[in-house]
Amino acid sequence: MRNITTEKKCFNEKYIQPCNDKCSFCFLNYVDALQSSYIFKDLKSEEIGHIIKKVHHQVKTYKKDELIASSGDKCNSLKIIVKGAAVGEMMDFQGKSLRIEELRAPDTIASAFLFGEDNTLPVDVIAVEETKILFIPRQDLMNLFCNENTVLKNYLDIISNRAQKLTKKIKLLGLQSIRGKFANYLLEQVRREDKTEFTLKNSQSELANIFGVSRPSLGRVIREMHNEGIIEAEGRNIKIVDKKALSGLLK
């Protein structure tokens, strides 16, 4: 079990200052991450640098297994991972950790909860390696939306994409059996990659966390599906042999 550091760093927005010569955030250190961030999609590095200089901002560093944000925290700032990776985790009623989402630079954290009546985080966000996060206060982001249509469109795209992903997650959680969950995952891969042979992006341990099941149970299901001739599985390499039978596992 991971030993999570729960003491969060103090973060007070009054200390976030506009960019100046003594700013602790060096844009050049993170230009690649910001250019790759969806919120700055279609913007040149010079344009991104100009935007960052106009808004209040701060970069914070988190160690591996350090708690970035807790479930129930108010979401008052846009958070962009400029280096490292984090996970969103939720505890079920039995105290078992369920991994909801994996995040890596240049992903945004909880962007869908920055606005709305209940803008509190539903999960704990934990660094899985040394991670640096750029904070931009909500009011500055609102001002940015008014002046930068591209940033506004990109942000709306992020929210829409998250909503679509959540819909798929709900569908996955609605499947009771491990076979159904794994079959749904494989069929999504087939649809996305438009081929029946592919390499899984997630390890069995990661998939078990996503499905909310134990790794041995998932491994047993994969072996059973392999032996039944539904799939061929060798490590992360998967070949769909009987797509009809695979689809039948969703019922």
What superfamily would CATH give domain 13-168? Jelly Rolls (2.60.120.10)
Q: Map out the domains of the chain as residue ranges.
A: 13-168, 175-248
Q: What is the pLDDT of residues 118-153, one digit of tens each?
A: 889 889 999 999 999 999 999 999 999 999 999 999
DSSP for 120-160, written as a single string:
B-SSEEEESSSEEEEEEEHHHHHHHHHH-HHHHHHHHHHHH
- Assign domain 175-248 one CATH number from 3.90.1580.10, 2.40.10.220, 1.10.10.10, 1.10.3720.10: 1.10.10.10
E strand spans, the chain? 58-62, 67-69, 77-83, 85-91, 97-104, 108-109, 124-127, 131-137, 197-199, 231-234, 237-240
Q: Which residues contact 142 (CB under 8 A, 6 or more apart)?
A: none
End-to-end CA distance of the chain: 34
Q: What is the mean pLDDT of residues 99-106?
A: 87
Q: What is the pLDDT of residues 34-84, one digit of tens each?
A: 888 999 999 998 888 888 888 888 889 999 999 999 999 999 999 999 999
Least confident of 82-96, 123-137, 232-246: 82-96
- Residue 105 carries which side chain, given as an amino acid letter? A
User: In this predicted structure, what is the pLDDT of residue 116?
Assistant: 86
Q: How far is CA 109 from CA 76, 101, 169, 231, 238, in A?
A: 12, 10, 17, 35, 31
pTM attached to this predicted model: 0.64
